[in-house]
Amino acid sequence: MPYLTSPVLPPGTLSRTPQPTLPTGDGLLLRPWRTADAPAVHTAFQDPVMHRWHIRAADSEEEVRGWIAEWQRGWEQERNVQWAVVDAAGDRLLGRVALRQVELGDGVAEVAYWTTAAARGRGVAARATRTLARWALDDIGFQRLELSHAVANEASCRVAAKAGFALEGTKRSALLHADGWHDMHLHARIRGD
């Protein structure tokens, strides 16, 4: 049975070229992950704030090296694409930004991010997310980017708004965290926003 529409983005849209490094224009770079980032990622995941809002923990640098290997393969698989967010001057890890649950045919992906404790309150997540969204929507041609966060995570809600993601609603009991089920805000940004 034929589809009545063509894919928004064909297979190979991402993987046919190397994963790019994306400058924010204001001192940050979004770059592909390196194995050498493992100690900094492991340290970031020891922060209690990460434990509160994320569903994954890092028990060792070896475990994190496995994550990074997955993240490095994500570009070629065109499903979960991850960037390290670093200080452009010194390449110090400040966080992560990602396109997850990529559906090229529909032109849709979910944006996710985290920042290190030292980077919080400096606009790092919003700046990185804005840059990723501009690239994905304007340069690549995605139609829609979604962003979800726990309703109780007010800082993440501010990041979404600063990055131009409109609040569309609340998904009730949508994600299980260590402390129980969380309602999640759903934000989105579409091409042309």
Q: What is the pLDDT of residue 180?
A: 93
Confidence of residue 57 (pLDDT cuts 50, 70, 90): confident
Instruction: Identify the three-state secondary structure at position 32.
Output: coil
Confidence of residue 56 (pLDDT cuts 50, 70, 90): confident
* Tens digit of each residue's pLDDT (9 = 90 or more) over 75-129: 999 999 999 999 999 999 999 999 999 999 999 999 999 999 999 999 999 999 9
Q: What is the pLDDT of residue 33?
A: 98
Distant-in-sequence, close-in-space partners of 48: CB < 8 Å, separation ≥ 6: none
Q: What is the pLDDT of residue 43?
A: 97
- Taking the CA atoms of 137, 79, 155 and 87 in sequence, report the sign of the dihedral they define: negative
Question: Is the pTM above the cut of 0.75?
Answer: yes
Q: What is the DSSP letter of 140?
A: I
CA distance to 15, 60, 75, 179, per residue, from 151 (Å): 34, 30, 30, 14
DSSP letter for each residue of 4-28: SS--SS-TTTTTTSPPPPEE-SSSE
Whole-angstrom Cα distance, residue 187 to residue 129?
13
Q: What is the pLDDT of residue 53?
A: 86
Check pLDDT > 80 for residue 1: no
In which order are the strands placed within the sheet that holds 81-87? 22-23, 28-31, 81-87, 93-103, 108-115, 144-150, 180-190, 166-177
Q: What is the pLDDT of residue 189?
A: 98
Whole-angstrom Cα distance, residue 120 to residue 28?
14
Whole-angstrom Cα distance, residue 120 to residue 5?
43
Check pLDDT > 80 for residue 28: yes
User: What is the mean predicted confidence (pLDDT) over 57-84?
Assistant: 96
The partner residues of 184 in beta bridges, in order of sequence, read: 150, 171
Q: What is the pLDDT of residue 132?
A: 98
* Tens digit of each residue's pLDDT (9 = 90 or more) over 31-50: 999 999 999 999 999 999 88
* Residue for token pair 């994306």: 22
Residues 190/144, Cβ–Cβ less than 8 Å:
yes
* Tens digit of each residue's pLDDT (9 = 90 or more) over 117-174: 999 999 999 999 999 999 999 999 999 999 999 999 999 999 999 999 999 999 999 9
10 Å CB burial of residue 121 (0-12, 13-18, 19+) is: exposed
Check pLDDT > 90 for residue 52: no
User: What is the mean predicted confidence (pLDDT) over 7-28?
Assistant: 97
